[in-house]
Amino acid sequence: MIKVLFLGDVVGRPGREFLIEKISELRSELSLHAVVVNAENAAGGSGLTESIAKDLLSSGVDAITLGDHVWDQKGFESEIGNLDKVCRPANLPKQNPGRTHLVIPANGFKIGIFTVLGRNYIGMKADGCPFRIANELLDELKGECDAFLVEAHMEATSEKVALGWHLDGRVAGVIGTHTHVPTADGRILPKGTAYISDVGMSGPHHSVLGRKIEPVIQLFLDGMKRRFPVAEEDVRLSGCLIGIDEKRGIAESFQRFELKKIPASA
């Protein structure tokens, strides 16, 4: 069985430092063959930079995915091409730079990974239908990969659940990200696809989606724009563990994963 750890949106310095601190220990303790991380909020809470991506990759991350915050950091559009283990959402307009998918080796097995962006209640315009683009990529890559993990970076749970059913039996996992809040619906669908609407975020949980609480409350009270600093407390890694059956390329096991940082003062 190929064991993969998928971690949801890494938020800011607290999220990435805890990830870097723990990753080699997790790789050996959980006998992981691959670690996939969404890092769309890794740089100051919004976007990614080449240097942060390199730090994550050199610490033991095998593949980095992104979401609607992909271009939030100035200049990342010219850096992403240098990063062969980073992919942007597959269904952005074709002119967008960056890879649409990754193929990562895991114990002699090849896992195809890509992210599709939702089209409901999400700020960034995806010009390709996530369902159709997923079909097309799976057709294109089927000779090259032994199994697939598809990330559903979407706001609407209906869109995520429907994508899970649409891909059931064709991929090892459909993993939801973007809302930063984990859901309790993780399971293996009847034809063998591990599914969860959202794995939650890897970052400070004493927060509103990773940001300090007070400025967000104030925004809801007065509607005025302000800075939303990344929070600091209750840092957790949040994700899921998928065991892939090597013969069939579908999920054999699935569980939610969460690791809480013990504060230095505790």
Q: Which amino acids are annotated catalytic?
A: 69
Q: Would you list the DSSP string of 77-138?
A: HHHGGG-TTBB--TTS-TTS-SBS-EEEEETTEEEEEEEEE-SSS-SSPP-S-HHHHHHHHH
Rounded-to-integer distance, Cα 191 and Cα 82, Å: 37
For Fe ion, the closer CB: 68 or 151: 68
Least spacing, CB of residue 10 vs Fe ion, in Å: 9
User: DSSP secondary structure string, 193-208?
Assistant: -EEES----BEESSSB
- Nearer residue to Fe ion within complex by CB, 9 or 146: 9
Count other Cβ atoms within 10 Å, centred on residue 131.
16
d(CA 159, CA 174): 12
Closest to Fe ion by CB, 106 vs 230, is 230
CB of 178 to Fe ion, least distance (A): 4
Query: The tokens 């079909």 sit on which residue?
Result: 135
Smallest distance from Fe ion to CB 249, Å: 27
Minimum gap (Å) between residue 45 Cβ and Fe ion = 9
Compare residues 34 and 70 and give the one whose CB is closer to Fe ion. Answer: 70
Site residues (vs Fe ion, CB under 5 A): 9, 40-41, 67-68, 178
